[in-house]
Amino acid sequence: MKDLKRVEIVTGALETPKVIHILEEHQVNGYTMIKDVQGSGDKGIQDGEGLHNAFKNTYLIVACSQEELEKIKEPLRKVLKKSGGVCLVSDAQWLVH
């Protein structure tokens, strides 16, 4: 088992490329993305209904080291502060295979 950090990010679909750019820029390789997730938050219910991606959310999950988290947390905070969304960080263990 390997200790890591699980970073879960829910943000608007329009901001998703910015989040991915932050990950790539800081060489945090690997993420899983689920498009068109639904939920409720500061902006009310976001269900994807609408004419374009402004009403859609994306969920990204990243497994990284504490050192990698330190590199991406402030850039992520800036994006989320400006556009909304949520970022949850928790301890995790990777079942190395």
* Residue 96 maps to a domain: no
Q: Above 80 in pLDDT, residue 39? A: no
* Residue 33 maps to a domain: yes
Predicted pLDDT of residue 56:
82
Predicted pLDDT of residue 83:
87
Identify the band that residue 77 occupies on the pLDDT scale cut at 50, 70 and 90.
very high
CATH number of the domain enclosing 15: 3.30.70
Contact between 9 and 86 (Cβ < 8 Å): yes
* Residue 1 maps to a domain: no
For 21, the 3-state DSSP assignment is: helix
Provide the residue range defining the domain that includes 49.
10-88
- How many Cβ atoms from other residues are within 10 Å of residue 13's Cβ? 18
* Residue 4 maps to a domain: no
Report the domain count for the chain.
1
Q: Above 80 in pLDDT, residue 62? A: yes
Identify the band that residue 93 occupies on the pLDDT scale cut at 50, 70 and 90.
very high
